[in-house]
Amino acid sequence: MRRSLLVWLVAAHGLLISAATQSWSAYAFTSIADSSGAFLDFNTPSVNSSGQVAFRASLDNGGGGVYRGQGGALTTIAETGSTYQGFQYQTPGIDANGNVAFTAVRRPEGGGGEGVFIGNGPSTTIHILTPTTTAPQPGDFAGAAAVVMNDEGTPAFAGAFVGPPLQGIRAGLYVGTALVANDFGAFASFADSLGRGLDVNNHNAVVFKAARDDNSSGIFVVGAGGLATIADTSSGDFASFNFSVPAINDAGDIIFWAEPQPFVDALFTSSAAGGGQPLVFLDGSGPFAHFGKSPAINNLGQIAFDAFLDGTGVGNGIFTGMDPSSDAVVFYGDPLFNSSLATATVSNQSINEAGQIAFHYVLANGLSGIGLATPLPQGDSADFDGDQDVDGADLLIWQRGVAAGTGSAATGDANGDHDVNGQDLAIWKQQFGQANLAAPVPEPAAWWGALSMGLWAAAAARRERCA
Contact 310, 288 (CB under 8 A): yes
Report yes or no on 352 lying in a domain: yes
Q: How far apart (Å, rounded) are the C-alpha atoms in residues 312 and 309?
A: 6
Compute the radius of gyration of the chain from its Cα atoms: 23
Report yes or no on 345 lying in a domain: yes
Report yes or no on 38 lying in a domain: yes
Q: Which domain holds residue 272?
A: 19-378
Which residues are 344's β-sheet partners?
Answer: 361
pLDDT at 303: 93
Q: How far apart (Å, rounded) are the C-alpha atoms in residues 98 and 108?
A: 28
Report yes or no on 280 lying in a domain: yes
Report yes or no on 160 lying in a domain: yes
How many domains, the chain? 1
69-104 residues labelled b (16+ CB within 10 A) or e (exposed): bbeeebbebbbbeebbbbbbbbbbbbbbebbbbbbb
The helix/strand/coil state of 247 is strand
- Which amino acid, residue 138? P
Extract the runs of DSSP E, i.e. beta strands, from 272-380.
277-281, 288-291, 296-297, 303-309, 317-319, 328-331, 335-336, 339-345, 357-363, 368-377
DSSP letters for 175-228: ETTEEEEETTSSEEEES-TTS--EEE-TT--EEEEEEETTS-EEEEEEETTEEE
Report yes or no on 204 lying in a domain: yes
Q: Looking at residue 159, which CATH number applies to its domain?
A: 2.130.10.150
Report yes or no on 270 lying in a domain: yes
Helix boundaries (H) for 278-378: none
Report yes or no on 421 lying in a domain: no
**What tens-digit pLDDT sequence spans the chain (467 residues)?**
233 332 333 233 333 333 333 334 478 899 999 999 999 999 999 999 999 999 999 999 999 999 999 999 999 999 999 889 989 878 999 999 999 999 988 888 888 778 889 999 877 777 776 666 565 677 777 777 778 999 999 999 988 888 887 677 888 889 998 889 888 888 988 887 565 799 999 999 999 999 999 999 999 999 988 898 888 999 888 999 999 999 999 999 999 999 988 888 889 888 755 444 545 444 446 788 889 999 999 999 899 999 998 876 677 999 998 888 888 999 999 999 999 999 999 999 999 999 999 999 999 999 999 999 998 767 788 888 877 788 999 999 999 999 887 777 888 888 878 889 999 998 898 888 876 544 443 333 333 333 333 433 333 333 333 33
